[in-house]
Amino acid sequence: MSPKAAATAETLAAATRNGDRRAASKLISQLESAEPETARAASRAVAALPLPPHTVGLTGPPGAGKSTLVDYLTAILRKRGKRVGVVAVDPSSPFTGGALLGDRIRMSSHRSDTGVFVRSMSNRGATGGLAAAASDTLRVLGGAGFDVVFVETVGAGQAETQVVALADTVCVVQVPGLGDDIQLMKMGILEIADLFVVNKSDRPGARELKLQIEQALGESPGEVCRALRQLGRDFATGYEGPKWMPEVHLLSGLDQKGGDELVDGMLRHRAFLNQPKLAAELTRNRLAREILWRATRRAGDAWEASLAPGGSLRKLVGDCADGKMDLESAVEKVLKAKVKP
Ligand SMILES: Nc1nc2c(ncn2[C@@H]2O[C@H](COP(=O)(O)OP(=O)(O)OP(=O)(O)O)[C@@H](O)[C@H]2O)c(=O)[nH]1
Ligand SMILES: [Mg+2]
């Protein structure tokens, strides 16, 4: 890595810690840079920054009112004296992602507020996976001193689920009138929610949907606790502390109703995660994933370089091309070769 890229990233990280918003913004752009040197230097520099005290993931179908809701919740948290960050993640194709994002953010009311930081992210340039890039972005916002950070994602695909799993608290947003509500739940939505939001409760069918979700929660087998499940069976079965039962909140982002109760629910969930043994285990789990992402990315880069024209394993590629070696044998050789990540 070039010393210059590293120095720039380090300088930006230090300024971010001092609350410099422009530095934070630049650092995030560098994380997303298509230039691997720049992205890697930024990722390395943010590793020492702290995660935000509370990350809240919001997910739900397109148009469910997530952005309107984030805007409303941000206003409530600002009144309570919290500094709020927002990351809108669009995992759609690199070709359409950027164009749609501007439309997805409805934070105009906070534009002049220095206690609010809004940022969008797409798959573009997210080497090493969207979740890894989002995780680095969270460290930037944590470093810049934001108390609560919202991460908004659309839908329930794999990339979204991974991003949402980064959050301490996950809110699944549903709306009445989409039909097939049960179908959505079958798609594993019950599994990932700490809080349910029945949004657009100004519309008919909201109470019925709330009842439906509560009923499904009551019937769902086993322990309903995302954090415990995430830690794996061994920890979950050995765990004897209090359990978390997902809450279902009626809300209207448009009429600005139900927001205070939802914010209280979010904070209750955060407090629940603070139980000493659980909190320690969650921190370890998160660190393990970050170490793995970072190591995988560096190893991947190194192997790629070694196989590229001019790389040390170039002969191997030639042997494969000439039919002197099969693919699997080549893979074995790659794994045994000494490449320096
Ligand atoms: N009736 C009603 N409409 C709402 C409410 N909240 C948002 N809307 C409307 O729903 C539409 C979508 O709102 P967004 O906040 O952009 O929804 P979103 O889930 O962020 O959308 P994507 O990011 O595109 O998935 C807009 O036309 C909003 O005005 C609500 O509480 N009630
Ligand atoms: Mg949106």
Q: Is residue 95 located within the same domain as residue 30?
A: no
Query: Residue 12: which pLDDT band, with cuts at 50, 70 and 90?
Result: very high
Q: How many domains does the chain have?
A: 3
201 lies in the same domain as 300: no
Residues 141 and 61 in one domain: yes
Q: Is residue 243 helix, strand or coil?
A: coil
In sequence order, which residues have a C-beta less than 8 Å from that of residue 208 and are 6 or more positions away? Answer: 176
Full residue range of the structural domain in which residue 93 is found: 50-274
Q: How far is the CA of 52 from the centre of ligand 1 (A)?
A: 27
Binned at pLDDT 50, 70 and 90, residue 102 comes out as: very low
In this structure, which residue's CA is closest to atom 13 in ligand 1?
Answer: 65
Task: Clarify whether residues 215 and 241 are in a common domain.
Answer: yes
Question: For residue 89, what are the β-bridge partners?
Answer: 121, 153
| 65 CB near ligand 1 (under 6 Å) | yes
- Coil, strand, or helix at residue 54? strand
Give mean pLDDT, residues 303-325. 88
Judge if 44 and 56 occupy the same domain. no
- For the stretch 121-140, pLDDT in tens is 876 555 567 788 889 999 99
Q: Are residues 57 and 167 in the same domain?
A: yes
Residue 108's pLDDT is what?
63
pLDDT in the model for residue 207? 93
The whole-model pTM stands at 0.89
- 185-217 pLDDT, tens digit per residue, is 655 677 788 999 999 999 999 999 999 888 888
Report phi then psi at 254, rounded to 5. Answer: -70, -45
Which residue's C-alpha comes closest to atom 25 of ligand 1?
62
Given a contact cutoff of 8 angstroms between Cβ atoms, the answer to whether 98 and 124 are in contact is yes
CA separation for the pair 263, 51 (Å, rounded): 20
Regarding the beta carbon of 106 and ligand 1, being less than 6 Å apart is answered: yes
Tell whether 18 and 81 lie within a shared domain. Answer: no
